[in-house]
Structure 1
């Protein structure tokens, strides 16, 4: 009989996180809020801000009353990513135009980014 077969032996340690039940997800979220002595505690607000998408999906699956919140936050994150990508592209165009202007080189007016708008106030 190995130590793993003994009724008093602890289960083997794995790197896999078991989030198959609402209780397991709730316990893990509680641990994320208060990881124990000497570790930094989080407020629920901060935890929601840093919660990875995979954990949000687990919460949504195990806590149906929170699904709409998780879905709205995921949709808003996707919108933010699109806006940030458009802004990065616009900043690249602006940086090149600025470099040319500083160097006194002839410049053409770059096409306006439809995602950012025409800048008219």
Structure 2
């Protein structure tokens, strides 16, 4: 049977039923995933207090492990960053890189550079 091929060399996908999360005596959250040896788990400390759920994607970058997983948008806290209630438009062009809804051009020398 043909199978899917992944050419990404720095990620591991872990199914939802294939890992455990545990909290140590100091209140830190750890992720335990299967290792290369049978019945041996590799423990990874997490920098969050919320346990991941569902299928995980572990990405190895610069000696660190990033844990990516999906969450329900209704569970997210609202952002604390200030924001307005107006719509913003952006136009991508050739003579300038971007023009915002106020008519301000950004990257005005782009057309000359590309030419």
Using the size of structure 1 for normalisation, the TM-score is 0.19
Q: Indicate the structure with greater helix content.
A: 1
Structure of higher CA gyration radius: 1
Larger relative CO (CA 8 A, sep 6+): 1 or 2? 2
Q: Indicate the structure with greater strand content.
A: 2
